[in-house]
Structure 1
């Protein structure tokens, strides 16, 4: 597919670039920044319609915005889970009341969301969810634990996959519930400290947390198809923005290789060229996928491509710096018992790339069974 940009797209790029140049400040508080984006209509460009405070944008314009945002050094987003996961799911599966209640605050940057899917015993195998939601007089009481919950410490709401039929098994009897996080004594959020020293992920404990009956998306017992639909929105236009960041990281590794002299090593040069070529390949794959020519296994292929690539880049970043890569910055504080520079953070954080968002093993199984038609993996196989 020839995924080109029209004259109108380039005019949109000029507008987006000018707005970001005038407003993007890396020091801006993230919640304030979400409201700034919302007030200008930049949240929800990819939604099916623009009647919730967002502006309409074509697919190519969504790509333009994602790329310009990545280039602008704007603050990291706190609202992307609500904008890119919950909102498209509500557009497809939600009631009119749910759309009217939840989409405008997301578009305005006023309400932030987190995703209650993974559990200690149900991560990649999501059908093993054990968090229970028991119907009471005016809704549901939720009990259980979720883990690896990104930005739960900032979120106002959580969409929770829970078992509403206690006698059900696997993907049957599940429901997707919209749960307010401000329930002291009923919801506890515990940050998970990573080896980078940061805590983007959390454990979330539900002890009788309440969800209203009208906040079940798609109907009781329909949680599995709704949840799978939601995961389908996880990898889209944002993949191209991610690759802009990857390109900047690669450029930094190339500069370090030149400064240290590692670039004179033919093995290092070959690895640098391979990283560059693979990144170009990933971009073409992402564009084909957005154009509808990627096939049913395209999201799994994309995850396999970028996760391994990014992990190898982190390793290369350490290699080109040699022994100096093991020495941390000199600034220290009790709040940050050890500091990391950008390359060290890249190396440590990227160790998880092949696990989160669906492990490499799970992606290969999806491709094997659902695309290639190979025999299904026996239950209980190690």
Structure 2
């Protein structure tokens, strides 16, 4: 495969691919598999793993060309956990065999992924997790409970962090695995939210056997591996380029324009303040995307995610004030299992209720503020008395 030196070279390669793979005459899965094999899936990945080793900022060129040709996409919102969290972790810590096995069906949408991190007693403090993995020959036997797991009811695979050594401090005794969600001993139950939906799940693991060949990273280095997942997760939630007035602020601004009789002059300044904050967050997210294109995501993703959560809650609250009595009507209290979260296409009441979860998922706002203070601003760290205490001796 000849290296690509210019944008023109990339465009020619895409043109040649489309000339031999007509989207209208090829099944969706066959087309996506061929695109992956041609290195035109995620361009910044290495050759042979769906990419061409190009800068990440070249990806929009490919997406635009394939969309213009009417090519099918891989339903990125449905497989977002796999694309945004599992894949970068597998690329960074997986063996060559693991990369070959998992990345292609992941990108093509053949296999959905979920993330088994949070626990009832270890949400904000992930390193306090108690799900236990005990070595048994070439396998590990895992038991425990995970909560707030999106897509667990559809997932084939899960990225899982466990406790493998309780006799060392909590950050040192963790190990990271890939779990087959169809394995015996895996039970998924819906968690109904105040929106009426069961978007999340709780997952119970009872003596589940995981082959050691499905471990990512070294034994005891689960915290290090998990940091790659978490940094990518926060960029996926709060980062990314988007057009002006996209998302929740666009909905609020349109409501203001469309409801002249409901306008309250006292709310005007608050609307403009939020509009400016949303625009600043959008431009900052574009800078973060550029940083991501140049290498690995850093702790700045925590700031993008924090801003996303805070703005969503403030914007949805102001929308209710603007709409008044109309916003109190809520017709969505039905048990559903949505595959994606769509704020824009829902009612004001749904947006207000669902936005409350933004400050919890992907790292609580309090934890993110600590990360920003310590790792971005360089402020003194919080006093932590449990850093040198064995996990088994910590109060729970």
TM-score by length of 2: 0.77
TM-score by length of 1: 0.80
RMSD: 3.8
Q: Is residue 66–residue 237 contact of structure 1 (8 Å, CA) maintained in 2?
A: no
Cα distance in 2 between the residues matched to 1:349 and 1:52: 36
Cα distance in 1 between the residues matched to 2:63 and 2:347: 22
The equivalent of 1:207 in structure 2 is 206
The equivalent of 1:299 in structure 2 is 301
Q: Deviations over 1:95-136 (max 9, x none)?
A: 111111111221222111111111111111111011011111
Any residues of structure 2 matched to 1:301-320 within 5 Å, and which?
301-320=303-322
Q: Which stretch shows the higher mean deviation, 126-135 or 59-68?
A: 59-68
* Matched position secondary structure for 1:364: helix
Q: Deviations over 1:279-314 (max 9, x none)?
A: 221122122223339995411211221111111111
Cα distance in 2 between the residues matched to 1:136 and 1:371: 42
Q: Per-residue deviation at 1:214?
A: 1.1
Any residues of structure 2 matched to 1:182-197 within 5 Å, and which?
182-184=182-184, 186-197=185-196
Q: Per-residue deviation at 1:276?
A: 2.1
Cα distance in 2 between the residues matched to 1:273 and 1:109: 40
Cα distance in 2 between the residues matched to 1:314 and 1:33: 37
Kindly indicate whether residue 49 of structure 2 is the aligned counterpart of residue 49 of structure 1: no
* Matched position secondary structure for 2:353: helix
Compared with structure 1, are the counterparts of its residues 64 and 129 closer, same or farther at alpha carbon in structure 2 (3 Å cutoff)? farther
Any residues of structure 2 matched to 1:1-382 within 5 Å, and which?
40-41=35-36, 44-45=41-42, 47-53=44-50, 58-62=55-59, 77-184=77-184, 186-236=185-235, 239=238, 241=240, 243-244=242-243, 247-261=246-260, 264-292=263-291, 297-329=299-331, 341-379=346-384
Compared with structure 1, are the counterparts of its residues 335 and 177 closer, same or farther at alpha carbon in structure 2 (3 Å cutoff)? closer
Compared with structure 1, are the counterparts of its residues 177 and 246 closer, same or farther at alpha carbon in structure 2 (3 Å cutoff)? farther
Q: Is residue 195–residue 354 contact of structure 2 (8 Å, CA) maintained in 1?
A: yes
* Matched position secondary structure for 1:233: helix
Structure 1: state its 5+ residue gaps. 1-5, 24-31
Q: Is residue 115–residue 149 contact of structure 2 (8 Å, CA) maintained in 1?
A: yes
Q: Deviations over 1:246-298 (max 9, x none)?
A: 71433332232233326642232222222222222112212222333999541
Cα distance in 1 between the residues matched to 2:205 and 2:173: 19
Q: Per-residue deviation at 1:36?
A: 7.0
Compared with structure 1, are the counterparts of its residues 239 and 379 closer, same or farther at alpha carbon in structure 2 (3 Å cutoff)? closer
The equivalent of 1:29 in structure 2 is none
Aligned length: 355
